[in-house]
Structure 1
Amino acid sequence: MDHDDLPPLELAFPGPERDSGVAAILSGHKTALTGLLALYRHAGEELPTAGQRLSVLDSANRPVATIELVDVRVVPMAEIDDAFALAEGRGYEDAAHWRAAHTEFFQSTGVSEYLGHTPVIDDSTLVVAQQFRLVDPTP
């Protein structure tokens, strides 16, 4: 399947954060990702589903890999456990470290500007927790 036929996956914002996430996917260290449910709702996007394939884009918006979602759950941040945090492949030591990093990102200037306000982030904040497998790294 051509990458152009798949929905795009853009991690974070273009730049170092996206580049490190893409590298972690390509190396096999990253097998999970998390999105803020409020971002999907604001964009009017449908939630991803298990079995869906996505084209991973790099910071230049070039397709670099295809992933397949194997599990998608909408859960409060408090339900993210250590195993999921480690599967994010970004060096989180545990779920508490994951929560701190995601709170910082979800309240960042870029996210706040996109939403039009700074979201309140706490243990009850709903996130879209996705686990995936790498299907096709694009050379």
Structure 2
Amino acid sequence: MPHDLPTLELAFPGPERDRGVTAILSGRKTALTGLLEIYEHAGEALPVTGQRFSVLDSAGRPAVTIEVVDVRVVPLKEIDDDFARAEGRGYSDAAQWRAAHEEFFRSSGVSEFLGHTPVIDDETLVVAERFRVVEPDAPDTARPADPAG
């Protein structure tokens, strides 16, 4: 894995991040969502199509390299069932996806980072990304990318 790639950390270290990394490696997770306000607060540029990231596990080790294939900034209300299922967390529809994401976006960790609890409603902007696996980084989990994406 190239060591000059930007890193990506899902959620916070622990079981939630570990489940996300496992879902990427298994091919179940091909999408992810971030709160636009977090990017703005951190001063981070939004990802762009073709950009590659090294996804880190809870120990901070590279687990898999992904390539962004689509990025959209959309209101929360525009996330559909297909995107929700592509998140690979077992959501059956956008309503389940939204409930889980609202809970995370209002969590103490996010509130602490932002310095306030964000307002989450239909118009809240999120960064919706689709990606493909380029290369698994851990030798014991190496497998080809899911061609169905």
Shift of 1:123: 1.0
Shift of 1:15: 0.1
- The amino acid across from 2:127 in the alignment is V
Distance 1:41 1:95 in 2: 25
Shift of 1:77: 0.5
Shift of 1:46: 0.4
Q: Does 1:125 align with 2:124?
A: yes
- The amino acid across from 1:48 in the alignment is P
| Structure 1 partner of 2:39 | 40
| Structure 1 partner of 2:66 | 67
Runs (5+) with no aligned partner, structure 1? none
Distance 1:119 1:53 in 2: 29
Distance 1:125 1:95 in 2: 15
TM-score between the two structures when normalised by the length of structure 1: 0.98
- The amino acid across from 2:96 in the alignment is H
Shift of 1:93: 1.1
Q: Does 1:13 align with 2:12?
A: yes
Write the mapping of 1:30-109 to structure 2, written as runs, cut at 5 A.
30-109=29-108
SS in 2 for 1:93: coil
Distance 2:74 2:27 in 1: 24
| Structure 1 partner of 2:21 | 22
Distance 2:118 2:52 in 1: 29
Distance 1:75 1:116 in 2: 23
TM-score between the two structures when normalised by the length of structure 2: 0.91
Percent identity (aligned): 76
Distance 1:42 1:122 in 2: 19
Distance 1:79 1:105 in 2: 18
| Greater than 6 Å deviation, 4+ residue runs | none
SS in 1 for 2:25: helix
Q: What per-residue deviation string (whole Å, max 9, x for no partner) do you get for residues 11-59 of structure 1? A: 0000000000000000000000000000000000000001000000000
- The amino acid across from 2:117 in the alignment is T
- The amino acid across from 2:17 in the alignment is R
Query: Number of residue pairs matched?
Result: 138
- The amino acid across from 1:17 in the alignment is E
Shift of 1:9: 0.5
Distance 1:64 1:99 in 2: 27
